[in-house]
Amino acid sequence: MPTDSGGATRRTENVRTRGRAARVVERVMGATLVELGRVGYAALRVDEVAARADVNKTTVYRRWPTKAQLVAAALEGQLQDRPPIDTGSVRGDLRASMLEVLELSPSAQGLVRVVLAERTEPEVESITRRLREQQRRARIEMVKRGIARGELPEGTDPGLLVDLVSAPLQRALIFEETLSRREVGRILDVILAGAAACATPRRRRGAKRS
């Protein structure tokens, strides 16, 4: 009959196993990012990632069967694994979202540029499209919250507004341009003022079309 101490030992062993697994994942993700930044997607080899992470190649393939899945997991962890942004205002939300991208570490920004430069690779295109859509949806929700709070008119087009916000970020990353916090604020002021001025008002019920 198992003793209480035996059960406690098994529970402790499970915790240790989970801890080791988490450390392995962390090492593999870090090695993937380093290799991606060093050689790019096309030349990235799982063997090199495993060697850099000091794990067996089969350990990598067991969790991420393809190179595309491995790179997607590493990029998502680097770019997307952050708590949701909700500052209480649409301007604050969008500003925090922009700064989150602009204030990535230089190595992380370099990774973004590598991926953007290799979008002719079908697997990379799929990864970047998915990450971009995730971020776009999050920003659209920020705008929708702003409309619900009355910060923006009901006729505001959330998708259009978010695309205008994204354009200077993409330019800054691709061309390695500097975008200061002050410039981010000015960009948002112009975009939000334009959204407020140009939003299509709802037509009153029964009103005739011109």
Residue 120: which CATH number?
1.10.357.10
Residue 175 lies in a domain: yes
pLDDT in tens, the chain (210 residues): 444 445 544 443 443 446 888 899 999 998 998 898 888 888 899 999 999 999 999 999 999 999 989 988 887 776 555 678 999 999 999 999 999 888 877 767 777 777 777 777 777 787 778 878 888 999 999 999 999 999 999 999 999 999 999 999 988 888 888 899 999 999 999 999 999 888 655 544 444 444
Do 55 and 91 share a structural domain? no
Within a domain: 1 = no
Indicate whether 158 and 91 sit together in one domain. yes
pLDDT of residue 21: 86
| Residue that terminates a domain, selected from 66, 92, 127 | 66
Please identify, among 66, 94, 109, the residue that sits at the C-terminal boundary of a domain.
66
Let me know: does 110 contact 37? Beta carbons within 8 Å.
Answer: yes
pLDDT at residue 199 in the model: 64
In a domain? residue 93:
yes
Which of 62, 42, 38 has the alpha carbon at shortest distance from 52? Answer: 38
Q: Please, are residues 147 and 158 in contact by the beta-carbon 8 Å criterion?
A: yes
Residue 31 sits in the same domain as residue 86: no
- The closest of 146, 106, 157, 111 to 131, measured between CA atoms, is 111
Say whether both 43 and 133 belong to one domain. Answer: no
Is residue 24 assigned to a domain? yes
Q: Do 112 and 191 belong together in one domain?
A: yes
* Assigned domain for 20 exists: yes
CATH number at 43 reads 1.10.10.60
Tell me whether residue 182 is in a domain: yes
Question: What confidence score (pLDDT) does residue 81 get?
Answer: 56
Q: What is the pLDDT of residue 79?
A: 59
Our count of domains for the chain comes to: 2
Domain with 44 in it: 13-66
Q: Report whether 107 contacts 189 (CB < 8 A).
A: no
Please give the Cα distance from 139 to 85 (Å, whole number): 9
Cβ neighbours around 90 below 10 Å, total: 25
Q: Are residues 119 and 54 in the same domain?
A: no
**Angle formed by the axes of helices 4-39 and 67-79, nearest 10°:** 100
Inter-CA distances, 151 with 89, 91, 145, 163, Å: 8, 9, 9, 19
**What span, in angstroms and rounded, lies between the C-alpha atoms of 134 and 128?**
10
